[in-house]
Structure 1
Amino acid sequence: MGLGLARWYFGPEVTAYPVVKADLVKTVVASGHVETPYRVDIGSQITGVVDEVLVDEGQTVKRGQPLIRLEREELQSAMVLAEGAVAQAEARMRQMRELTQPAAQETLKQARATLANAEATYERAQRLAKGGFGTQAALDEATKNLDVARTQARTAELQVYTSSPGGSDYVMAETQLAQARAALATAKARLGYSLITAPRDGVLISRNVEKGAVVQPGKSLLVLAPTGDVQLVVQIDEKNLGLLKVGQSALASADAYPDLRFPATLSYINPSVDINRASVEVKLTAKDAPDYLRQDMTVSVDIEVDRRGGALVAPARVVHDANGGAPFVLVSNGGRAHDQPVKLGLRAGDRVQILDGVKPGDLLLPVSAGVRAGQRIRAVQP
């Protein structure tokens, strides 16, 4: 039988696709960039001149590692002065306890003894004057001496009180010591601020300072991307918004390393839509992200939005009237094409789940083959 006759008798060769049992996964594909969940701006807490920058942009640093050193001479001098003021205030307190207070107590003892003697003399002079044996001049002298002794005793008591804990002189000395210690703590802190260190582990992604620069509080000198979970920020077409849920799994890859994929989890969906791009910003968290990822690196992600395990799957190209109310396929059986109504399930890319109407291994003919039901064909698998 000639080739033309065989073609007429057996029908044309048509590529047929078998129905297979497989997991069908629907994904939403998008692209975006790498971004740490937050960045730390590192600056100076004091005004000063940069003596040395100890790190470079892109360098990995550990918490407490020195980053920038400021000139320290003036700050060291201020701390020496503050230390001297503390020593002076402490000496004043020791003097109060060791000299002033004991001396005041001794003076008080003497004043009380003098007062007791003056009181006895006054009583004697008063009795003699009443009995007519003393003179008025002697009584006046005793009265004067008694008044002086009382004044001296009150003064001595006041000196003892003011030099004792709670007294004005003691409190003033304590206050001066506290102020001196506070000034020393401030001087030490300012000296410590002259060495700027890393607040936590991370990678320096920006450096805006050089040796000799004058720095001030509030100005960012370095930007640190802390070590930890990496965040992927991507834009999703708003038509896919209904498919997304926080917690969905995804596979991501950096454009610089397209063959290396790593897992991520959808962690945030922006509540608003970008009207200019008709897209929604979503963020994915990549735990234990690969070391080759860099800040702002371009990435592609496949977010898994649905999965059907052990489904009957066929190429979408074999389904006729897929979007209509009566989808069907052409099955190759006995050398002829037979139409078969089907019920469709999940659609994922160029594959579709068939819920009813076919069985595993059935050979289905593509719509593009132009085959009609009942036509002879020779089915060949791709």
Structure 2
Amino acid sequence: MRGESIRSALRQLRSHAGAITAIAALAVLAAAAGPRLLFGPRVAVQTAAQRDFVQTVVASGHVEAPHRVDIGVQVTGTVESVPVDEGQTVAAATVLIRLEAAELRAAADQAELAVRQAEAHLRQVREVDEPGAEQAVRQAQANYDVAHATVRRNEDLFAKEFIGQAALDDSRRAEQVALAQLRTAQQQLASARRGGSNAAGAEAALAMARAAADAAHARLRYAVVQAPVAGTLIARDVEPGHVVQPGKVLMVLSPTGASQLVVQIDEKNLKLLHEGQPALASADAYPEQRFAAQLVYINPGIDAQRGSVEVKLAVPQSPRYLKQDMTVSVDIEVARKPAAILLPTEAVRDADTAAPWVLKVEDGRVHRRPVQLGLRSKGWCEVLQGVRPGDQVVPATAANVTTLADGARVRPVTAAGG
């Protein structure tokens, strides 16, 4: 009887085996999918942070001296020597080019001789001509005094009829001749004295000779071309034996000291720039070594082909390794905000439109929330309204973000960088 009951129970179990298997499978499925159905899918989120934020504009460009000095000659001549090489750093007054100067030296010597000759002539006027003119005036005055006294005496004698009219007329003519000689001597004296025509002519001749000598010595100095300032020769186009003329650039000198960086900025960032903004720069050859710069010039024109604007930055203390035309990267600080609320740019939808928004996690559900943005830089956005520090938002790059409806349940998982 007992065995029969056991066999009956086994037959019943076999008949319900399929149903039991299905129930077990449903139980396993419910255990696996229950959290998703009850609490929603796992979703990567990023958390709003609060910290000091600096907005920068990044650009690349090259090093350039504030000005370059073109070196040439001022007289035509043959190059005797070029004692410097391209790329060489030179001090101020270093000899760069020497010209053959034999003819120029001869001209300078001739001009010096002309100066000495003019000086001798002026000394003759002052030491010989003027004293001689004074003596001539005294002699002419004496002759005139004698002639004048003779006329007075002859006039008395003629009145007393001791002499005739002819004798009186002769004495009067002699007086007139003496007077003319006196006036001539006086004029010669005035001319020989300082300020007179002879003295002025001698002084003018001396001044002209000295000016000609100065010009000759200047031309002689032009035979030696020196560096006007310290710097580096970045170009040289002259060799000994070349015949050179004024107006041709033979060398280019890049002065040492303050350098400047010339970079191209996307024109969409033009509204963010103004002179005086600080920047950090680095040469591509030395990316680990950053140095300070300052925006000093914004080109008023736009490059239409590239859609960019040229700006220049001064480098007050140039690193020793910084060289002409080096490629540099520059971060220009255009704004700074303390304790800003920040989100990764990828967490903000329609960030470039007038109505940006985010999918914010609130009480286990996602909700579309409008936000107001402020500064942006290097993949981060400042949120002025709509998000608080610690809020979690679903980035646009989340795996299943497209299936999430507004109000859907989710299980947030902090994403890398969130």
Same fold (TM over 0.5): yes
User: Is 2:313 the partner of 1:284?
Assistant: yes
Aligned partner of 1:345 in structure 2 is: 373
Query: Which of residues 267, 287, 298 in structure 2 aligns to 1:258?
Result: 287
2:166 equivalent to 1:132: no
1:368 aligns to what SS in structure 2?
A: coil
Q: Distance in 1 between matches of 2:230 and 2:310?
A: 28
Provide the residue aligned with 1:270 in structure 2: 299
1:80 to 84, 102, 109: 109
Tell me which protein shows more strand as a share of its residues.
1
Shift of 1:44: 1.4
Q: Is residue 331–residue 340 contact of structure 1 (8 Å, CA) maintained in 2?
A: no
Looking at structure 2, the residues matched to 367 and 117 of structure 1 have their Cα atoms a distance apart, in angstroms, of 130
In the alignment, the residues of structure 1 paired with residue 356 and residue 173 of structure 2 have an alpha-carbon distance, to the nearest angstrom, of 131
Question: Counterparts of 1:2 and 1:88 in 2: how far apart (Å)?
Answer: 126
Equivalent residue number for residue 377 of structure 1: 411
3-state SS in 1 of match to 2:289: strand
Deviation per CA, 1:265-310, whole angstroms, max 9, x where unpaired? 2222222222222222222222212222222222222222333221
Check if 1:297 corresponds to 2:331: no
Equivalent position of 1:118 in the other structure: 147
How far does the alpha carbon of each residue in 1:36-64 deviate from its partner, in whole angstroms, 9 at most, with x for none? 22222122122222222132222223332
Question: Which structure's CA Rg is the greater one?
Answer: 2
Residue 196 in structure 1 maps to residue 225 in structure 2: yes
Aligned counterparts of 1:92 and 1:42: Cα–Cα separation in 2: 43
Does structure 2 conserve the Cα–Cα contact (< 8 Å) formed by 1:53 and 1:68?
Answer: yes
Three-state SS of the structure 2 residue aligned to 1:296 is coil
Q: Which amino acid aligns with 1:115?
A: Y
Is 1:9–2:35 an aligned residue pair?
yes
TM-score, normalised to structure 1, is 0.88
Distance 1:216 1:172 in 2: 37
Q: Does the C-alpha gap of structure 1 residues 358 and 169 become closer, same or farther in structure 2, counting only changes over 3 Å? A: closer
Cα distance in 1 for partners of 2:225, 2:408 equals 83
Q: Which amino acid aligns with 2:331?
A: D
Query: What is aligned with 2:245?
Result: 216
Q: For 1:334-353, what per-residue CA distance to the aligned partner results, in whole angstroms no more than 9, with x for missing partners?
A: xx454363534233232222
Distance 1:272 1:320, change over 3 A: closer
* Contact 1:101 1:164 (8 Å CA) reproduced: yes
Aligned letter for 2:361? V
Q: What pairs up with 1:36-75 in 2 under 5 angstroms?
A: 36-75=65-104
- SS of the residue corresponding to residue 257 of structure 1 reads coil
Q: CA deviation at 1:181?
A: 0.9
How many residue pairs match? The answer is 380
Provide, for residues 329-377 of structure 1, a one-character-per-residue CA deviation record: whole Å limited to 9, x for no partner.
34386xx454363534233232222334544344444333225454453
Indicate the SS of the match to 1:295. Answer: coil
- Of the three residues 352, 358, 369, the one matched with 1:328 is 358
Report SS of the residue matched to 2:93. Answer: coil
